[in-house]
Every structure is written in structure tokens, then in C-alpha cells.
């Protein structure tokens, strides 16, 4: 068995072999690479991707108008305010989430190129999506999960997702919190010769573009106009990136791309103590902020998920607000859905009240619910960790200590996170990679593309580090 140091040292070699994708073709020196060139050279057009997904029942999901929730938002909004709220019901995909879209392309590509199986490192819905698609394509699947803390306790939502992976026939390797996840993932890739079905490859991101395209097409069909805003649950950045790219390809250039995450400030995702003190395994700031401010922390040489290129706004909601939105969706619209999409629903409900009566805002996904993904299981587990769960004003929420569920719908709020601060954090992380060396003109240009900062801001950041 190779040591942790030895296996990590072979990261580049292992991932390149397991992907068959030559990232070096797109390198342009130092920090810079040809992002659009990388994305356009997957070998699949948008029409190809739609066809591949439909072969396994992925995509073409319903776009539903939330009429009762819209009426409630309008009662709380000022005169002439209260946008129409729609939701894209991605729970209709075979594995119950939008991640079937990205898995469909990766698994298809693996099958077409002669791989006997696929491997993914994920504690979320993506594992179930990969397992489901692999079963349909006749491939083996191995899912590597970070599940337990040092007391052998696992969050009910993660355990449910592991159960789903096994139900689809995957082998599931369940690990404790810590750096071993990536090392075991690399070991599995090396020993099996399976395809690396990473969340962050161009195949995975391109698969989500159909979702953005369908959102725009559906809104046009039902309202005769483009959506004014689309709210996207933001974690590692793939959901934002793929959806926004699809929207742009549909020609919806004026539609606002709004990210929403659960505020878990103060909790560290790699901490054994903090790991089980969060009630959300995705869509939270513990993923969103690190991946927004440095995308290339991923398990591939260049991450195709680069959310700063696409976000127009980004904000947070609290855990309690998401639990409230989950019940609101079920009791007002008859849709019982899991927590991830309801992060965006909580945000959209607040944002709709700021918008005009004739505008349209879309919640871009739902996910399946049940077992450990249900609020009852999550809140019971939180109480077991000593977290106080109570009703009140969610401004009193303290991640890891209290979950405050709103006592009325007026208390659902969207807390703006200034994107400019995240852009400058990205720049600082990029400049650290240079170790004091000056930026080349192409690197300056790339950093502007990647962060939406001006050349003057990039050069000023460099001067501050000299």
C-alpha cells in the first residue's frame, strides 16, 4: 500500500490516465489557460449532450409555477412587487437530482472509450447519479464517501446517499473526515484503471448546460419572456457554471445569475468536531467560498467550474430558513423535496419580494427527499450533537450551536455577500501561486476573465504583494 505522500505525488499522472483528457493542450503559461478552448473540446455539442442524456431518461424535467408561494410573497411585498416564482423540478431525473445531467456525460464518455467502470469522490447526490448512470450503461461504479467523524457517527443525509449508491449497484467506500478521501480516491483510480468521473471535468460541467437551456426555453414557453433572475444553489461551483453557460447559449444574456448558499460561517468542513455540526452536506459556504475564491483546489488539473465568471449576485440564507422553505414547498405546493434546491427557494422567496409584479424568478433545481434527507432526521441529528433547535427569528442562528426556524414567512431573508470581496480573495490566492514573480500580460488577462476584475485591480493587487 503506497504512503499518503507517495500517492499524492502521483496525482497528475493518475488523474491524466483516468481521464484521457490532455489538459496540457490548454495551458498558456503560469496561471493562465484557455478555458473556453478546454470547454469546447469535450467532443460533444449541446445537441449531442441532450441526446445522450435523453437516452437514459435525464433532462426534459418540468418547470412548475409556484402559484401559492408567489401569492404569499406578494402579500408580504410592497405595492406592485412580488415576482412570479417558478421551480425546475430536477427530482424527476432518474437518480433524483440535477447531478444526473453531469453524470450522464461522464459515464457515457467512459463507456465510449472502453473503461470498465467509473469512480467518483463525493458525499452527495452526485454519487447516486454516477451509480445510476453506470447501471444503465453496464459499467461498474465505485463511490468514495467522507461519512464519519472519529466517534463513528455519520450524518443521516450522507448515509442516505450512500444507501442510494448501493441500491444502484455501486461499491461504496465510506471514510472518516480528513485528507484520506483524496488519497483513497487516487488509489482506487490507479488500482482499477477506471474512469475519473470527477465533478469538475469539462464533461461534468457541460452536462449541466442543458439545465440552463431548458430553464430559459421553459420560461419563454410559459411566459413569453426570458427569466429576470435564476437562483442557483452554490457549492463547488459546477451548478452555477453549467447552468449559466446554458442560459447564455439560449440567448438569455440579461438574466441575472444569483447564487445562494447556507451560511455555515465558523464551521470548518475538514474538522472532526465541526463535520457533524452542520445540517447541510452541500450548498453551504464551507464549499462555496473556498471554491469561488480558488477553483483549482479540485481533483483535476484545471477545474471547469469557475463561478466568478458567471455570478451576478451571491448571498446566504440560514439553516432554519431552508427547513422552513422545505415545509412551505410541501404544504403550499404539494411538492416534498430535499434540502439542496430549497436553499435557492428560501432565497428566491425573499428576492421575489424586491422584484416587480410582472417579473420572473426561477429556482433552478429540486432534489429527491426521504430517509436521512428529510428535515425530521436532520433536526433530530442536530439535537443529538447538542445543537439547540427552536422557533424564532433566524438572525439569531449560530452555525454549530443553534438552528432558528422562522416563526413566520416575513423572516425569510437573503443576505448579500459582496462579490467584490470574493474577487479580491481569488486574486490573493492566485498571486500566492506566483511566489513573488511578476504576472505576464496573458496572466493578467486570464485573471480578469476568471474574476471579472479590471486589469487595474489585478495589477494593483500585484503591487500590494511586492
List, for residues 59-116, the tens digit of each pLDDT value.
999 999 999 999 999 999 989 999 999 999 999 999 999 999 999 999 999 999 999 9
Number of structural domains found in the chain: 2
Clarify whether residues 366 and 387 are in a common domain. yes
Any domain includes 457? yes
Q: Which run of H or E residues covers position 327? A: helix 319-333
* CATH number of the domain where residue 410 is located: 3.40.50.1100
Dig out the grid coordinates for 377 from the structure. 432526521
CB 86 within 8 A of CB 363: yes
Nearest CA to 220 out of 352, 80, 86, 349 is that of 86
CB 256 within 8 A of CB 313: yes
Neighbours of 152 (CB within 10 A): 8
pLDDT > 80? residue 400: yes
pTM of the predicted structure, to 2 decimals: 0.96
pLDDT (0 to 100) of residue 180: 84
pLDDT (0 to 100) of residue 109: 97
CB 403 within 8 A of CB 397: yes
Any domain includes 156? no
pLDDT (0 to 100) of residue 372: 85
Clarify whether residues 211 and 292 are in a common domain. yes
Q: What percent of the chain has pLDDT over 90?
A: 85
DSSP assignment string, 102-166: HHHHHHHHHHHTT-SEEEEE-SSHHHHHHHHHHHHHT-EEEEEEEEE-TT--B-HHHHHHHHHHH
Using the 3D structure, point to which of 376, 393, 416 is the last residue of a domain. Answer: 416
Clarify whether residues 387 and 453 are in a common domain. no
The owner of cell 471535468 is 201
Clarify whether residues 290 and 434 are in a common domain. no
Q: Give the side-chain half-sphere CA count within 13 A for 20.
A: 16
Using the 3D structure, point to which of 399, 416, 433 is the last residue of a domain. Answer: 416
Any domain includes 194? no
Nearest CA to 131 out of 91, 176, 174, 163 is that of 163
Parallel/antiparallel/unpaired status of strands 84-88 and 63-65: antiparallel
pLDDT (0 to 100) of residue 124: 85
pLDDT > 80? residue 179: no
Parallel/antiparallel/unpaired status of strands 313-317 and 256-262: parallel
Any domain includes 155? no
Any domain includes 129? no
Q: What is the pLDDT of residues 425-450, one digit of tens each?
A: 999 999 999 998 999 999 999 999 99
Residue 428 to residue 294: CA distance in whole angstroms: 9
Any domain includes 38? no
Average pLDDT over residues 373-398: 95
pLDDT (0 to 100) of residue 69: 98
Q: What is the pLDDT of residues 118-163, one digit of tens each?
A: 999 998 899 999 999 999 999 999 999 999 988 999 999 999 999 9
Dig out the grid coordinates for 319 from the structure. 439553516
Clarify whether residues 335 and 376 are in a common domain. yes
CB 73 within 8 A of CB 67: no
Of 289-298, 326-335, 365-374, which gets the smallest average pLDDT? 365-374
| CA 52 to each of CA 148, 249, 291: distance values in angstroms, whole numbers, following the listed order | 36, 18, 29
> 180-192 and 11-19 are packed helices; what angle lies between their axes, rounded to 10 degrees?
50
Clarify whether residues 331 and 381 are in a common domain. yes
Any domain includes 398? yes
Nearest CA to 143 out of 95, 115, 96, 175 is that of 175
Any domain includes 379? yes
Clarify whether residues 313 and 385 are in a common domain. yes
Give the structural domain span for 437.
419-465
pLDDT > 70? residue 23: yes
Clarify whether residues 449 and 362 are in a common domain. no
Task: Indicate the SS3 state at residue 374.
Answer: coil
Dig out the grid coordinates for 27 from the structure. 495551458
Facing residues of 27 across strands? 33
Residue 285 to residue 22: CA distance in whole angstroms: 31
Clarify whether residues 316 and 347 are in a common domain. yes
Clarify whether residues 397 and 249 are in a common domain. yes
pLDDT > 90? residue 406: yes
DSSP assignment string, 246-267: HHHHTT-TTSEEEEEEE--TT-
DSSP secondary structure letter of residue 27: B
pLDDT (0 to 100) of residue 4: 80
Clarify whether residues 301 and 362 are in a common domain. yes
The residue that leads in pLDDT, 323 or 7, is: 323
Using 50, 70 and 90 to split pLDDT, how confident is the model at 8?
confident
pLDDT > 70? residue 273: yes
Clarify whether residues 273 and 323 are in a common domain. yes
Using 50, 70 and 90 to split pLDDT, how confident is the model at 177?
confident
Nearest CA to 259 out of 280, 244, 274 is that of 244
Using 50, 70 and 90 to split pLDDT, how confident is the model at 225?
very high
Dig out the grid coordinates for 244 from the structure. 449559466
Dig out the grid coordinates for 132 from the structure. 445510476
pLDDT > 70? residue 1: no
Amino acid at each position: 500500500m503506497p504512503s499518503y505522500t507517495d500517492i499524492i505525488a502521483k496525482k497528475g499522472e493518475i488523474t491524466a490516465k483516468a481521464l484521457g483528457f490532455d489538459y496540457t493542450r490548454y495551458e498558456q503559461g503560469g496561471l493562465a489557460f484557455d478555458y473556453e478552448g478546454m470547454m469546447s473540446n469535450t467532443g460533444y455539442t449541446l445537441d449531442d449532450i441532450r441526446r445522450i442524456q435523453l437516452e437514459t431518461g435525464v433532462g426534459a424535467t418540468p418547470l412548475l409555477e409556484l402559484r401559492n408561494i408567489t401569492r404569499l410573497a406578494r402579500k408580504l411585498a410592497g405595492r406592485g412587487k412580488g415576482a412570479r416564482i417558478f421551480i425546475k423540478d430536477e427530482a424527476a431525473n432518474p437518480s433524483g437530482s440535477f447531478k444526473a445531467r453531469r453524470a450522464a456525460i461522464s459515464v457515457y464518455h467512459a463507456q465510449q472509450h472502453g473503461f470498465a467502470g467509473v469512480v467518483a469522490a463525493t458525499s452527495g447526490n452526485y454519487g447516486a447519479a454516477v451509480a445510476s448512470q453506470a447501471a444503465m450503461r453496464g459499467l461498474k461504479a465505485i463511490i468514495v464517501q467522507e461519512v464519519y467523524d472519529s466517534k463513528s457517527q455519520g450524518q443521516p443525509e450522507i448515509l442516505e446517499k450512500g444507501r442510494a449508491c448501493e441500491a444502484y449497484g455501486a461499491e461504496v467506500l465510506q471514510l472518516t473526515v480528513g485528507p484520506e478521501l483524496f488519497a483513497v480516491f487516487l488509489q482506487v483510480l490507479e488500482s482499477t484503471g477506471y474512469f475519473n468521473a470527477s465533478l469538475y471535468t469539462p464533461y461534468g460541467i457541460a452536462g449541466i448546460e442543458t439545465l440552463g437551456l431548458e430553464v430559459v426555453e421553459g420560461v419563454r414557453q410559459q411566459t413569453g419572456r426570458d427569466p429576470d433572475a435564476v437562483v442557483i444553489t452554490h457549492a463547488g461551483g459546477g451548478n452555477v457554471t453549467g447552468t449559466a453557460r446554458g442560459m447564455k447559449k439560449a440567448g438569455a444574456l440579461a438574466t441575472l445569475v444569483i447564487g445562494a448558499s447556507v451560511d455555515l460561517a465558523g464551521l470548518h468542513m475538514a474538522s472532526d468536531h465541526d463535520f457533524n455540526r452542520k445540517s447541510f452536506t452541500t450548498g453551504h459556504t464551507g464549499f462555496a467560498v473556498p471554491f469561488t475564491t480558488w477553483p483549482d483546489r479540485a481533483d483535476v488539473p484545471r477545474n471547469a467550474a469557475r463561478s466568478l465568471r458567471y455570478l451576478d449576485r451571491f448571498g446566504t440564507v440560514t439553516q432554519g430558513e431552508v427547513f422552513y422553505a422545505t415545509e412551505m414547498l410541501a404544504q403550499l405546493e404539494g411538492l416534498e423535496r430535499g434540502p439542496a434546491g430549497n436553499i435557492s427557494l428560501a432565497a428566491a422567496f425573499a428576492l421575489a419580494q424586491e422584484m416587480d409584479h410582472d417579473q420572473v424568478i426561477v429556482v433552478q433545481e429540486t432534489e429527491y427527499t426521504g430517509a436521512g434527507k428529510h428535515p425530521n432526521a436532520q433536526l433530530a441529528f442536530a439535537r443529538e450533537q447538542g445543537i439547540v433547535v427552536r422557533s424564532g427569528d433566524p438572525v439569531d442562528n449560530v452555525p454549530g450551536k443553534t438552528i432558528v426556524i422562522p416563526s413566520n414567512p416575513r423572516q425569510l431573508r437573503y443576505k448579500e455577500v459582496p462579490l467584490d470581496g470574493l474577487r479580491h480573495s481569488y486574486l490573493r490566492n492566485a498571486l500566492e501561486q506566483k511566489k513573488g514573480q511578476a504576472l505576464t500580460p496573458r496572466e493578467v488577462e486570464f485573471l480578469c476573465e476568471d474574476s471579472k476584475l479590471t486589469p487595474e485591480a489585478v495589477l494593483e493587487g500585484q503591487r500590494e504583494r511586492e
